[in-house]
């Protein structure tokens, strides 16, 4: 779904009549994902020679999404300290090696340590900025942002016409897509509805977890089935095209066809590792404790949102970010004031 089609969807919601005015459009931002994308592409330093691309780009992108979607609520979700530990306990190599290389090659940083320091400094500053805005910033120790977003994007839906919008380039979120949950992938500039997933991957969002389980995820060091790619997946399992399936269905097919192709045999012989893949990537069952869910439920109910626009502007000017955001005072009011009114 391109941006023009999104506007039609939102217009249809507005045209339903007066009673639909209370329907919610909740925006969920994958915080680190948004930050790293901007940090990696914006080679921007302020007059003091300090890199500010990740910081300024984060808020410019946040404002752009708010202006497009016109949400009634905004959540910015971050990984907690030790967030990968639960999944590493299942698969020790999960996300291994991610911190070994630089993500830029700019002269703004002398080396990887210098780059890492800049990332930390800008992330700390982003949290300080967010405390001046009427958005809910959420993080839980030892919990990944994916799990929080997966839980909240469904739990906040209280009416059939409510919509959750997840902003992330992480494909894992496509398994959550439904009539009430839409995923926007910024690199593609595309909104994913159930039909978009079907058009792109020839299967329903329900089956996307099986796609991920069998093909793996190189970025997270999750190995898929050797010799199996996206085209081969649909040839070996055409049932994915028109039937909602579960993991046991895949195993049943493989057992019945084990002598037909080596891929079926590899799935049966590697089922233990593949079931770890499934458990790690299954966002229908987020890795949250009962206490985590209770705390998140309280966050949803909370109406105590800050809004200090003058403080935001002062911090922005202090950091000398410059013209990355134009007409700053108007931008802050235009993007965030309605979130206070609608809370």
Residue 221 CA: distances (Å) to CA of 54, 97, 339: 25, 9, 39
pTM equals 0.92
CATH for 23-202+285-332 (3.30.70.1530, 1.10.10.10, 3.40.50.1010, 3.90.550.10): 3.40.50.1010
pLDDT in tens, 277-292: 999 999 999 999 999 9
Cα distance between residue 314 and residue 14, in whole Å: 36
Closest CA to 142 of 91, 97, 84: 84
Side-chain half-sphere CA neighbours of 141 within 13 A: 1
Q: What pLDDT is stored for residue 105 in this prediction?
A: 80
In angstroms, the CA 1 to CA 116 distance is 36
Query: Is residue 9 within a helix (H) or strand (E), and if so which, with residue range?
Result: helix 3-14
Q: For the chain (length 343 residues), average pLDDT per consecutive 10?
A: 60 45 89 96 92 96 97 97 94 83 80 92 98 98 98 96 97 97 95 96 97 95 95 96 95 96 97 97 97 97 94 97 93 95 50
Place of tokens 């970025």: 219
* Rounded Cα–Cα distance for residues 310 and 332 (Å): 9
Indicate the domain borders of the chain. 23-202+285-332, 205-281
Helix (H) or strand (E) holding 27: strand 25-30
Asked if domains 23-202+285-332 and 205-281 share a fold, the reply is: no
- What pLDDT, in 10s, does the model give residues 218-261? 989 999 999 999 999 999 999 999 999 999 999 999 999 999 99
pLDDT score at 323: 87
Looking at 3.40.50, 3.40.720, 3.90.550, 1.10.150, the CATH number of the domain 205-281 comes to: 1.10.150
Token reading at 296:
């998140």
Per-residue pLDDT, 87? 95
Find, among 17, 270, 323, 282, the residue nearest to 172 by Cα.
282
CB 115 within 8 A of CB 109: yes
């Amino acid at each position: 779904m391109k941006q023009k089609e999104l506007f039609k969807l939102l217009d249809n919601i507005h045209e339903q009549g007066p009673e639909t005015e209370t329907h919610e459009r909740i925006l969920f931002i994958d915080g680190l994902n948004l930050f790293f994308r901007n940090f990696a592409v914006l080679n921007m330093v302020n007059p003091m020679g300090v890199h500010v691309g990740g910081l300024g780009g984060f808020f410019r992108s946040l404002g752009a999404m708010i202006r497009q979607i016109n949400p009634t609520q905004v959540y910015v979700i971050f990984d907690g300290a030790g967030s990968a530990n639960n999944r590493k306990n299942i698969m020790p190599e999960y996300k291994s090696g991610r911190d070994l290389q630089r993500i830029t090659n700019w002269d703004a940083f002398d080396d990887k340590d210098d780059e890492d320091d800049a990332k930390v400094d800008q992330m700390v500053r982003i949290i300080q900025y967010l405390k001046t805005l009427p958005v809910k910033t959420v993080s839980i120790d030892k919990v990944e942002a994916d799990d929080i977003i997966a839980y909240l994007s469904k739990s906040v839906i209280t009416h059939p016409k409510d919509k959750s919008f997840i902003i992330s380039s992480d494909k894992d979120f496509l398994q959550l897509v439904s009539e009430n949950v839409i995923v926007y992938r910024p690199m593609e500039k595309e909104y994913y509805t159930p039909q978009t997933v079907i058009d792109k991957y020839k299967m329903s969002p329900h089956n996307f977890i099986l796609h991920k389980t069998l093909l793996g995820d190189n970025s997270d060091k999750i190995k898929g089935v050797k010799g199996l790619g996206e085209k081969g997946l649909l040839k070996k399992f055409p049932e994915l095209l028109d039937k909602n399936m579960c993991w046991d269905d895949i195993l049943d097919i493989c057992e019945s066809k084990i002598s037909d192709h080596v891929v079926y045999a590899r799935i049966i012989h590697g089922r233990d590792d593949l079931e770890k893949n499934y458990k790690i990537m299954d966002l229908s069952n987020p890795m949250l404790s009962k206490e985590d869910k209770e705390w998140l439920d309280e966050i949803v109910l909370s109406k105590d949102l800050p809004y200090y626009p003058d403080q935001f502007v002062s911090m922005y000017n202090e950091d000398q970010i410059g013209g990355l955001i134009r007409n700053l005072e108007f931008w802050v009011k235009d993007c965030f004031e309605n979130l206070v009114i609608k809370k």
